[in-house]
Amino acid sequence: MQDYTKGPIIGPMLFLMAPILGTHIIQHTYQIIDIYWVSQLGKEAIAAITAVFPIFLFVHYIGLSFTTASNILVSQTKGKNDLPKLKHIVAQSLIASLIFGVVIAIAGYFFSPTLFSLFPLENKVYKLAIIYFSILILATPFKLIFMTFQGLLRGIGEVKIPFYITTVAGFLNIILDPILIFYFKLHVAGAALATSLVEFLSALAAFLILKNHPNLTFTFQNLKPNLSLLKELITLGAPNFIENLVQPIVQTILTSIASLFGTVALAAYGLSLRLSIFSVLPSIVQSYAIVTMVGQNKGANKLDRIKEITIKGILSGVSIILVIGATVWIFTPNIISFFINDRNVVETSTNFTRILILGWIFFAINKVLYGASQGIGDTTTPMLINLVYLLFIRTSLAYILSKIIGFLAIAWAFTISDVIATLLSLILIGRKVWSLDLKGSPKEA
């Protein structure tokens, strides 16, 4: 286990971030390759998995809420050096993710025909979507268990093991896809089966590692449901779930606004958004690292070190994003041209991306503050800030300004809302972090 309650801060923070970043990149890569193999089956197959995507995004967000909640509880308990409770948290986290996973799998499987009948799909696409979804949804318990496992190990600073498992799983998925899709002629069912098998093996590896871990191993007595601890997991995870759920809603609204300006604008918006998401990934990953480091120090009641981690996190986060932002700014036309050779799209996307870059510094600061808030056990404040700045400020600005200055108003809405979100975080989260008493609880006013 890694102890972040003493010693240097920035170096260990970067070492904590690196495997998490690698895990994310590998996951995105094999998902893209998965789509490539499915695309060889034709437009109906691509349309089918596209129809399924929003539903699995919902499942993924449930998994992320377990990742966050288990990360917070484990890191704080690790800071207290309470190993018996640590083992109990591990067992209860697995139980909670298994219960949620089984309920979602059963409900999804039996209600899939009704669910997809709500989509205006062609008959062939509808049937393919049902086949793909019905197989993949049954693997939900395995998916949630592995995501919980990531949060558990992240809480004690062991992030290399999930990275190794994800790497092996990624390569296995890449190998299984063409074999099941084409050799065994299972088509979209083969793609779903490959992913499901990999998720099962990942969950199995996670369970065996936890069962034999010197500090996290648990007994079957620990698996007996503890309602108090399960409630704590849900209380910490639910705001994070709502926070994540807001994002696709906002993106749907912004995409509809972008579509009003024609095909060139919509293509440019899509390319810029994907480039931006990939570019700020280090800031997102740093937030996860901050949760672990602040969480351990919250458990150890080291108030001054929590402040130091937050300040140095902001300084290092800004430094990293400045380098990334400057690089992307210079090479934006070249990067966009790699994906499309339409001059109008490249020019429009370049202008859009460069406006987005102006907000990346504020995004990086905000992510550090979010991580600090979650690390001390407050997941509600980041959720409320997200609701205000994404669902209301960003969408309102995009709609109003687009009537005045056109398509690029959407980019300005991103940047301005990032600035506002950072100011809100500095006021609400910064004040809360700085007002902790020696027991790690906010001081009474």
Per residue in 180-211, pLDDT (tens digit) is 999 999 999 999 999 999 999 999 999 999 98
What average pLDDT score do residues 96-124 get? 92
Please report the pLDDT score of residue 251 as a whole number.
Answer: 85
Average pLDDT of the chain to the nearest whole number: 92
Percentage, residues of the chain above pLDDT 70: 98
Please report the pLDDT score of residue 308 as a whole number.
Answer: 95
In this structure, is residue 177 part of a structural domain?
yes
In this structure, is residue 439 part of a structural domain?
no
What average pLDDT score do residues 64-91 get? 93
Check whether residue 250 and residue 135 sit in a common domain.
no
Overall domain count for the chain: 2
DSSP states along 414-437: HHHHHHHHHHHHHHHHHHHHHTB-
Domain boundary among 182, 201, 225: 225
- What are the tokens at 288? 């996860």
Element (H, E) at 180: none
Residue 287 identity: S
Sole residue written with tokens 């919509």: 266
Check whether residue 252 and residue 218 sit in a common domain.
no
Check whether residue 178 and residue 52 sit in a common domain.
yes
Cβ pair 141, 63 in contact under 8 A = no
pLDDT tens per residue, range 320-376:
999 999 999 999 999 999 888 889 999 999 999 999 999 999 999 999 999 999 999
C-alpha distance from residue 327 to each of 7, 18, 71, 419 (Å): 32, 20, 33, 21
Check whether residue 129 and residue 262 sit in a common domain.
no
Check whether residue 254 and residue 169 sit in a common domain.
no
pLDDT confidence band for 115 (50 / 70 / 90): confident
Please report the pLDDT score of residue 444 as a whole number.
Answer: 39
Check whether residue 157 and residue 179 sit in a common domain.
yes
Cβ pair 77, 89 in contact under 8 A = yes
Check whether residue 349 and residue 256 sit in a common domain.
yes
Q: Which of 56, 64, 146, 165 has its CA nearest to residue 104?
A: 56
- Cα–Cα dist 13/297, whole Å: 14
In this structure, is residue 35 part of a structural domain?
yes
Q: How many CA atoms lie within 13 A of 269 on its CB side?
A: 26
In Å, how far from its chain's centre is CA 299? 25
Strand partners, 442: 436
Please report the pLDDT score of residue 247 as a whole number.
Answer: 84
Residues 6 or more apart from 237 whose CB is under 8 A from it?
65, 66, 68, 69, 379
pLDDT confidence band for 118 (50 / 70 / 90): confident
**Cβ density class 261-296: b for 16+ within 10 Å, e for less:** beebbbbbbebbbebbeebbbbbbbbbbbbbbbbbb
Please report the pLDDT score of residue 437 as a whole number.
Answer: 54
Domain boundary among 170, 197, 225: 225
Check whether residue 219 and residue 333 sit in a common domain.
no
- What are the tokens at 296? 């351990």
Cβ pair 132, 192 in contact under 8 A = yes
Which of the two residues, 168 and 217, has the higher pLDDT score? 168
Check whether residue 194 and residue 248 sit in a common domain.
no
Check whether residue 254 and residue 395 sit in a common domain.
yes
Which of the two residues, 52 and 288, has the higher pLDDT score? 288
C-alpha distance from residue 21 to each of 16, 364, 373, 419, 427 (Å): 9, 15, 21, 25, 29
pLDDT confidence band for 438 (50 / 70 / 90): very low
Helix (H, G, I), strand (E, B), or coil: what is residue 168? Answer: helix
What average pLDDT score do residues 386-398 get? 94
Cβ pair 117, 129 in contact under 8 A = no
What average pLDDT score do residues 235-240 get? 94
Element (H, E) at 142: helix 140-155
The answer on pLDDT for 439 being more than 80 is no
The answer on pLDDT for 43 being more than 50 is yes
Residue 118 identity: L
Burial classification of residue 413, based on how many CB atoms lie within 10 Å of its CB (0-12 exposed, 13-18 middle, 19 or more buried): buried
The answer on pLDDT for 243 being more than 50 is yes
Check whether residue 188 and residue 263 sit in a common domain.
no
In this structure, is residue 329 part of a structural domain?
yes
Check whether residue 243 and residue 185 sit in a common domain.
no
Cβ pair 283, 317 in contact under 8 A = yes
In this structure, is residue 376 part of a structural domain?
yes
Please report the pLDDT score of residue 403 as a whole number.
Answer: 95
Instruction: Identify the domain containing residue 365 by its residue range.
Output: 238-434
In this structure, is residue 339 part of a structural domain?
yes
How far the first Cα of the chain sits from its last, in Å, is 37
pLDDT confidence band for 105 (50 / 70 / 90): very high
The answer on pLDDT for 178 being more than 70 is yes
- Cα–Cα dist 293/444, whole Å: 25
Q: Which of 316, 346, 317 has its CA nearest to residue 332?
A: 346
In this structure, is residue 230 part of a structural domain?
no
- Cα–Cα dist 159/1, whole Å: 10
Count CB neighbours of 38 within 10 A. 23
In this structure, is residue 185 part of a structural domain?
yes
pLDDT confidence band for 219 (50 / 70 / 90): confident
Domain boundary among 196, 225, 254: 225
